[in-house]
Each structure stands twice: as structure tokens, then as C-alpha cells.
């Protein structure tokens, strides 16, 4: 539909009835500015957790079908309350559950994927001046059972709905006002990014994760649906996430991320035989351990050093697996280094600017920050440093690439 | 279906997860005794009120469609939680919303009437050994909007479902263990009634109102579905409400009720013209005031006295209406007497036993209790007495008809 935006409000934006009033006012402002609006809501802050706690008191791993039926009630409450607040403002409004809408997913309870959305009722509503308020996070499978999309799934609902309705934009309202060049808690000079492309946002997922669900960005990227991240608590513009434009002015670097709670596992002096990487990594990854950066150094005497990083809470498990494995690999030493951090610079601009890596490494060297591992992709360069140096590294790089300007 | 009972659990029976555990055990006990069970649940105690309060913070009279969408979420939570508790006990179980079940009502939000129930899914479930747990209180209209049946509507859901499934019995579990011969707070010799017929239960509605919704008794009476009222907190048998049996042993009187907060309005010396009753009562009743007992005394000189009772909180309003009316009636005096009470004895037995009224009046006279008004129906005799004498009247009649035995 032309002249339509989808607005999604998360749990903190509707934590209490005062917040519902504020959100209703925001929706009304958008309508009064001449736009049609369809709204997607999450459960009120704390509500989903309250329901999960009840379920877990009854069953340690609650039945997936019933778990979804249970927690999806939170969004039903929010949708009805926002429709009531809009009615009070003399706007026509109707709440929709996934069932009523016809938002059909696959059968994977707790992490369902959207298969189709029937927009006919919504389109009719919008033509009649009705503001539809749709429950995020949930769907129904082909048997009519309620499913949920997983934590943060309301963002995905909003983007999917925007795509289905051919909306102009999907606005994700939350309690922060956008995506920043780096975590403002790490460097106070961090600056809000006004515009960023999907690919950069995906690489900056750790910065974005505080703001919106990365899966919704993948979805938006696929269908080129612009997402605007906004705060429902102030009106300071937000960040627009959209497709890459060939603009000369685009920044070389868009943002800098920094992980915490990472560990590095080094296998030293393992025989450098074909397929050694798979032999090491497959058993680890099959155990459900997420492997991040991987580096293999070519060694001497047909021996090699093999290094990878994992989340610290899974590092001991990874080491245990490697210990059972090391003999069959033909020997080697296992070393576990906790307290490391991955610092990444991200930007589509680096594709057309040579020397970004060199500038990065020099900036770190100037601060005497030792680089443990390096990993690069087309629009991202990551270095692994000791955790105690991580914040210093972020600041040095933020200054080097002049992101505060 | 043969060998099937419907069990309904109210809000106090499932006020917290410990209570869900207790209720799940009750259901399991029934199944283990060889019966098939379909369960209907209300919202957890306090939950519906919590949701109503939220809505009223946003709109004084919340939009009816959205109000129903909102409050119906409480039963969805309960149904999922009970299904989870049953799963934990290794029973197959599935929660059903009205939408999923196909419980279709008319369009009257907040006080919808059930039009039809699709039992096919439930019958299939029960044949497969699945315990279905159905949300009480709610339905969907022909447009797919959620409707609710009004306060206490879960009892009606349970009875309607029992009728639709051709169950053997509908069990209403609550926090009291049955219907008593009179309010135990009024007379401690009040005795639990083991068996009572529908007609008596309807006339004893004020006793029953603490136990189950009277509309569900009307429904059960129409379809002759036995209702058993039970406590989910103990296992002391309860009260069976069923169709009248021609049994010689049936008690003359089943129970005694007593109202409070009633007022009496007397119109003295109004002209005794045809249609005077309608002229007096229609404007009162059109103002939404509920009129209970009505007595007209034939007077002298073509003047008559006309007396009726209303709830005390509506009595001033009724008097105001009559004041504007009195001249057009041709004159008369209006008197308002607050603090009166209606005491009723109810029993199908009185149909075949002459002299019940005489015994009643004599018992009251012996205690020097003055009778203000008398009203009789086929299975009920009501007297209006001063409120201060009401409890004494109940005790005298309870003794007279030997209800403690």
C-alpha cells in the first residue's frame, strides 16, 4: 500500500498504561502527519518472563505447544490495550492476533519461521481508516496451533508485515534512539548513526542487538524494506537501516564493535594433515558450541598451530572435547586463554578504500595494543586482543576513523 | 460420548502454580478411576480484574471488542498452564482457545450467548487419550472476533461443552464444597444439600450464586445435564444438581434464602384504575431498576396501596421517578422503607404437601416476626420482613422444616 508505515513498539515502550498513552500519542502523531499506520506490539515489559516462570514452576522444560500458547497471550493483552488507547483518542482501531490475521508459520514451536501473512483484512481496515494493532512474536501453524518466533520475534513480525503490506518503512520503537558508532558505555564520544546499510548493520549485530533483532534485519535486507530504529521516549530522529547507496560521502567505517566473555583456544603443534581443521572443529560445533574467529598458522616440520575463539561459558566444554580428540589428531598441546575480546571495524566504505587494515593495525600499535588474531571479511576487519585492552582499542579506532564527527 | 465428564475449575482453584498442581492431580485421579475427562478453566484468581484495571486506566468504558480480546487472555494462560501440568504427569494434553475449538457465539461482547460448539477435535483427542483443556468464558463471533460470556461465564462454557459432548456429568470445582440449606454464616446448622433439582437451584439462586453461575443452571436444566458442585480444596462429595425425580423421600423444603440490601417502596392511596400497576412499574423498570416482590392491596373508596421491593442502592432513584409520576396517577403518598429483607423457602416437595405456607407463617408468628409482604410461586414462598429479623426468621424456618437432619 502507498503511504503506509508499520510501527513496532517493544516491551519497554509499553511497560505500563502511561507508556500505552505515550505510544498511542505517537501513533496519532504519525496519522495526523498524513501517513497510514499499522502497529505491531510486543508483550508489556516483564510479562513474557512472568509467564515463562509460571510454566517452569510446573514443568522444567515446558511442552513447546503449550509454552507458545501461554506466552503468546502477552502480545494479545498489549494489542487490545493499545487499540483501547487509540479508541479513547477517537480513532478506529482493531487488535489482531496471529490467528485472526492469518499469520502462518512453520511448525517449529519457540522459533517458528513465517510462511505467509494474509493482509486482506488489514488492507480493508486501513482503507476504512481503522488502525490495526497486531500481536508481534506469534503465528499459527497449519494445524491452527499457536507458535512463537523466539525472543525479539516481534521485530521480525513487523518487518514481515511491512514487506507483505508493501509499506514504505518499518519503524522499530524501543528505549534507545538508534544504533551508535560504538557502545556509548565504552566510549562516550560514540555517535548515533543516521543511516546505515543492511550489510553493515548485520556485521554490527552486537551493537544492533541492544536495539533490534538481527533476524529482522536479514529479513528486511532480503526484501529491501527500510527499517528505522527510534526511541518511543524521545523524538531525536533514530537510525535508518536501508540498502546500500553508491554515495561518495559514505563513511569508510560505520561502527566499531567489541565482544566480551570470549575465550581463545590454541592447539599447538598438531600435525598439518589435510582436513585437520574439520577434524578439530566438527566435534566442537556438533556439541552446540559456537565458534567465532578461526586462524591457522602455517608451522614448521609439518606441524601447525590452530586457534579459535568461543564464548567463555562454553570454553571448558570445548577443551574437554579437544582432550578426547588430541590423540587421534596425532598429538599436540591445548591451551585455553580466557579474557580475550574481538574488536571489529565495519563499513561498506572499506570496499573502495585501500589501507583500512593498515590504518587499523597502526592505530593499535601506536597504543601498544598487541593483536592476537586477525580475521577479515569484505566489509569488516576483526582483531582479537586481550580483554583488558579492548576498550582502549575501541577508543583508538573510533578516533582514528573520526567517527565522532 | 460415553464415560465422559467435563470438569471446570474456577479462578480460586488455580490461583497459583501449587493450585495448578493440585488441580492436575484431581484430573489425573478422575482419569485413573476410568473416566474420560475434558477440562474447562477460568482465569487465575485476580487476573481478569488486573486486566480490567489496565483497560480502565486507558478508557473509562473500554471498547467492547478490545475488552473481550484483552480479558480472554487470562483463560488462555490457565489452559496452557494446566496442559503443561498434565504433560508433566505424563498425560497427553492440549489447550484450546475458543478460536481453536470453534465455540461460536452471537455478537454481544461482554455477555455473548453460545450458538454452537464444534466438538470434532475434542472427540478425536479424547479417543486418542488426550486430555483437552478448554478456555472458559470466551467464544468467537461469526467475524472471528473474540467474545466473552460475562462474569462467571466459564460455568456456562462447561455446561454447554458437556451438553455438546453428551457427557455424563458436568463438575464445577470451586472453593466451597456445595450448596447449603441456608447460608452457613447466617445459621451454623446449615447442611450441605447432596442432591437438588434444577428448579430448586434456580429459586435458590442467592445461595447458589456463591457457588456457580445461575445461567449455567438454566442451561443445564434445559438440556438435563447433571451438574455436580465440588470443592477443589477437599474431597467431601459436593452437591448434585439434576432433574427432579419422583421420589417419596424428597424433602418438602430444600433450602432457605435471605436477601440483604433490599428496600420497600409503598404507594398509598393511589386511584385503583385499570393499568395502574403498569403505569407505576414501567417507568421504574425502564430506568434499569430491578423490581423484585410486588404486592397490591385492594383498598377502599377506589384507592389502593401498591408495594414493591428494589435493591437499596436503586431505591432513591425509584422514589425520584415515582415523585415525577404521582400526579399523573391521580395522587397518592410515597413511602420508602430501607432495611428490609426477603426470606424464601424453596422446595419441589411443597407441590405435593399442603400447608407449607401455614407452617411457615406460624413458625414466624411464634417468634413474633412480623410479615410485611408475601409472594408465592409453585416451589417457593417468600416473605418480606424487617432486616433485623431476617436471620432469626431463617433460623426459625430452618428448624421448623428440620433442614439440619
CB-CB neighbors (< 8 A) of B74 in chain A? 73
Do A79 and B100 lie within an 8 Å CB cutoff? no
Quick check: is B250 in a domain? no
**Per-residue pLDDT reduced to its tens digit, B44-88:** 999 999 999 999 999 999 999 999 999 999 999 999 999 999 999
The chain B residue lying nearest A55, using CA atoms, is: B81
Most confident of A239-253, A354-368, B240-254, B385-399: B385-399
Query: Is B263 in contact with B311 (CB distance < 8 Å)?
Result: yes
pLDDT digits (tens, 9 = 90+) for B340-362: 999 999 998 887 777 888 899 99
Which of A50, A77, A88, A142 is the mutation pick for testing B, counting most B CBs within 10 A?
A77
A186, A190, A196, A197 alpha-carbon torsion, rounded to 10° = -30
Residue B218 shares a structural domain with residue B321: no
Decide: helix, strand or coil at residue B60: coil
Backbone φ and ψ of A211, nearest 5°: -110, -50
Residue A251: inside a domain: no
Assess B94–A contact: CB distance below 8 Å, yes or no: yes
B405 part of a folded domain = no
Structural domain count of chain B? 2
Rounded to the nearest angstrom, the minimum Cα separation between B342 and chain A is: 42
B84·A144 Cβ contact <8 A: no
Partners of residue A386 on adjacent β-strands = A340
Range of the domain at A174: 4-245
Whether residues B140 and B278 fall in one domain: no
pLDDT band at residue A167 using 50, 70 and 90 as cut-offs: very high
pLDDT digits (tens, 9 = 90+) for A118-155: 999 999 999 999 999 999 999 999 999 999 998 779 99
Q: Which residues 148-167 on chain A approach chain B with CB closer than 8 angstroms?
A: none
ipTM exceeding the 0.90 mark: no
Per-residue pLDDT, A121:
94
Q: Are residues B365 and B272 in the same domain?
A: yes
The conformational region for residue B244 under phi > 0 = left, psi -120 to 50 = alpha, else beta, is beta
* Contacting residues of A for B57, CB less than 8 Å apart: 17
Count of A–B CB contacts within 8 Å?
A: 117
Q: Which pLDDT score, from 0 to 100, does residue A251 have?
A: 74
Tens digits of residue pLDDT in B124-138? 999 999 999 999 999
> Phi and psi of A323, rounded to 5°?
-60, -40
- Shared domain for A103 and A197, answered yes or no, is yes
> How high is the mean pLDDT of chain B?
92
Query: Minimal Cα–Cα distance from B53 to chain A, Å?
Result: 10
Are both B303 and B375 inside the same structural domain? yes
Q: What pLDDT is attached to residue A261? A: 87
- A72 neighbors A105 (Cβ within 8 angstroms): no
pLDDT in tens, A48-88: 999 999 999 999 999 999 999 999 999 999 999 999 999 99
What is the tens place of the pLDDT at every residue in B206-226?
776 678 888 899 999 999 999
Residue B61: the pLDDT is 94
Nearest to B65 by CA among A154, A135, A92, A21: A92
User: Quick check: is A250 in a domain?
Assistant: no
pLDDT at A274 over 80: no
Are both A40 and A139 inside the same structural domain?
yes
CATH number at residue B189: 3.40.1160.10
Most confidently predicted of A257-261, B9-13, B373-377: B9-13
B350 secondary structure, DSSP code: G
| Residue B300 zone, left/alpha/beta (φ > 0; ψ -120 to 50; rest) | beta
B58 with A17: Cβ contact below 8 A = yes
Residue B112 counted as domain residue: yes
User: How far A89 CA lies from chain B's nearest CA (Å)?
Assistant: 9
Which residues share a beta bridge with B266? B307, B335
- Using CB atoms, which residue from A65, A80, A93 is nearest to B70? A80
Regarding whether A196 and A311 lie in a shared domain, the answer is no
Nearest residue of chain B to residue A87 (CA atoms) = B63
Task: Look at residue B204 in the predicted model and tell me its pLDDT.
Answer: 87
Best interface-test mutation with B: which of A82, A84, A110 has the largest number of B CBs within 10 A?
A84
Comparing alpha-carbon positions, the chain A residue that sits nearest to B57 is: A17
Task: State the nearest Cα–Cα gap between B161 and chain A, in angstroms.
Answer: 20
**pLDDT score at A222:** 94
* Residue B220, domain member (yes or no): yes
> Residue B191 has what pLDDT?
93
Rounded Cα distance, A141 and A109, in Å: 9
Domain end point (choices A197, A223, A245): A245
On the question of pLDDT at B247 being above 70, the answer is no
Contact residues, B window 49-78, toward A, CB-based 8 Å cutoff: 51, 54-55, 57-59, 62-63, 65-67, 69-70, 72-74, 76-77
Rounded to an integer, the average pLDDT of B144-159 is: 92
Three-class DSSP labels, chain A: CCCEEEEEECHHHHCCHHHHHHHHHHHHHHHHCCCEEEEEECCCCCHHHHHHHHHHHHCCCCCHHHHHHHHCHHHHHHHHHHHHHHHHCCCCEEEECHHHHCEEECCCCCCCCEEEECCHHHHHHHHCCCEEEEECCEEECCCCCEEECCCCHHHHHHHHHHHHCCCCEEEEEECCCCCECCCCCCCCCCCECCEEEHHHHHHCHHHHCCCCCHHHHHHHHHHCCCEEEEECCCCCCCEEEECCCCCCCCCCCCEEEECCCEEEEEEEEEECCCCHHHHHHHHHHHCCCCEEEEEEECCCCCEEEEEEEEEHHHHHHHHHHHHHHCCCCCCCEEEEEEEEEEEEEECHHHHCCCCHHHHHHHHHHHCCCCCCEEEEECCEEEEEEEHHHHHHHHHHHHHHCCCCC
Q: Is residue B309 part of a domain?
A: yes
Which pLDDT does position A152 carry in this prediction?
76
Residue B386, beta-bridge partner list: B340
Domain boundary among B245, B278, B298: B245
Q: pLDDT over 90 for what percent of chain A? A: 73
Tell me the Cα Rg of chain A: 24
**Is position B252 within any domain?**
no
pLDDT tens digits, one per residue of A18-59? 999 999 999 999 999 999 999 999 999 999 999 999 999 999
Same-domain pairing of A239 and A291: no
Better pLDDT: B205 or B293: B293
Instruction: Identify the pLDDT of residue A249.
Output: 57
| Average pLDDT score over chain A | 92
User: Are A98 and A36 contained in the same domain?
Assistant: yes
Mark yes or no for CB contact B87/A66 under 8 Å.
yes
Strand positions, DSSP E, B323-368: 333-346
Looking at the structure, do residues B294 and B238 belong to the same domain, yes or no? no
Q: Which of A218, A245, A272 is the last residue of a domain?
A: A245
Out of B211-215, B226-230, B232-236, the most confident range is: B226-230
Q: Do A69 and B80 touch (CB under 8 A)?
A: yes
Q: To the nearest whole percent, how much of chain B has pLDDT over 70?
A: 98
- The CATH number of the domain holding residue B295 is 3.30.2130.10
Residues A226 and A356 in one domain: no
Residues in chain B with CB shorter than 8 Å from the CB of A77 are 51, 54, 70, 73
Helix (H) or strand (E) run with residue B294 in it:
strand B291-297
Question: In this predicted model, which residue has the larger pLDDT, B370 or A299?
Answer: B370
Within 8 A by CB and 6+ apart from B189, the residues are B395, B398, B399, B403, B404
Q: Are residues B209 and B307 in the same domain?
A: no
Q: B81–A97: do the CB atoms touch at under 8 Å? A: no
Cα distance from A342 to chain B (closest Cα, Å)? Answer: 42
Q: What percent of chain A has pLDDT over 70?
A: 98
Amino acid at each position: 500500500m502507498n503511504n503506509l508505515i508499520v510501527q513496532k513498539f517493544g516491551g519497554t515502550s509499553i511497560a505500563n498504561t502511561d507508556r500505552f498513552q505515550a505510544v498511542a500519542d505517537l501513533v496519532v502523531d504519525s496519522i495526523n502527519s498524513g501517513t497510514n499506520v499499522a502497529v505491531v506490539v510486543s508483550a508489556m515489559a516483564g510479562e513474557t518472563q512472568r509467564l515463562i516462570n509460571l510454566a517452569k514452576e510446573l514443568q522444567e522444560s515446558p511442552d513447546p505447544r503449550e509454552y507458545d500458547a501461554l506466552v503468546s497471550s502477552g502480545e494479545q493483552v498489549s494489542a487490545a490495550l493499545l487499540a483501547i488507547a487509540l479508541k479513547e483518542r477517537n480513532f478506529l482501531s482493531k487488535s489482531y492476533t496471529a490467528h485472526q490475521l492469518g499469520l502462518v508459520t512453520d511448525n517449529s514451536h519457540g522459533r517458528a519461521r513465517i510462511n505467509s501473512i494474509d493482509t486482506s483484512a488489514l488492507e480493508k481496515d486501513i482503507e476504512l481508516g481503522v488502525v490495526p494493532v497486531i500481536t508481534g512474536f506469534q503465528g499459527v501453524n497449519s494445524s491452527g496451533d499457536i507458535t512463537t518466533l523466539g525472543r525479539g520475534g516481534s521485530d521480525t513480525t513487523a518487518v514481515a508485515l511491512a514487506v507483505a503490506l508493501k509499506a514504505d518503512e518499518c519503524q522499530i520503537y524501543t528505549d534507545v534512539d538508534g544504533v551508535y558508532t560504538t557502545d556509548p558505555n565504552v566510549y562516550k564520544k560514540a555517535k548515533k548513526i543516521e543511516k546505515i546499510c543492511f550489510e553493515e548493520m548485520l556485521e554490527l549485530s552486537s551493537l544492533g542487538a541492544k536495539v533490534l533483532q538481527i533476524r529482522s534485519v536479514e529479513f528486511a535486507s532480503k526484501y529491501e524494506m527500510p527499517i528505522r530504529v527510534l526511541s518511543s521516549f524521545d523524538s531525536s530522529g533514530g537510525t535508518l537501516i536501508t540498502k546500500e547507496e553508491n554515495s561518495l560521502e559514505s563513511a569508510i567505517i560505520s561502527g566499531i564493535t567489541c565482544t566480551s566473555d570470549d575465550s581463545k583456544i590454541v592447539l599447538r603443534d598438531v600435525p598439518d594433515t589435510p582436513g585437520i581443521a574439520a577434524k578439530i572443529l566438527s566435534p566442537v560445533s556438533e556439541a552446540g558450541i559456537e565458534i567465532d574467529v578461526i586462524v591457522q598458522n602455517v608451522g614448521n616440520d609439518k606441524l601447525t598451530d590452530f586457534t579459535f575463539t568461543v564464548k567463555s561459558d562454553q570454553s571448558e566444554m570445548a577443551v574437554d572435547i579437544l582432550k578426547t580428540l588430541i590423540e587421534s589428531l596425532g598429538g599436540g598441546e591445548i591451551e585455553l586463554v580466557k579474557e580475550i575480546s574481538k574488536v571489529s571495524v565495519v563499513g561498506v566504505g572499506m570496499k573502495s578504500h585501500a589501507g583500512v587494515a593498515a590504518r587499523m593495525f597502526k592505530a593499535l600499535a601506536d597504543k601498544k595494543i598487541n593483536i592476537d588474531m586477525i580475521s577479515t571479511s569484505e566489509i569488516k576487519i576483526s582483531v582479537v586482543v586481550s580483554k583488558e585492552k579492548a576498550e582502549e582499542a575501541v577508543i583508538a579506532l573510533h578516533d582514528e576513523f573520526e567517527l565522532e564527527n
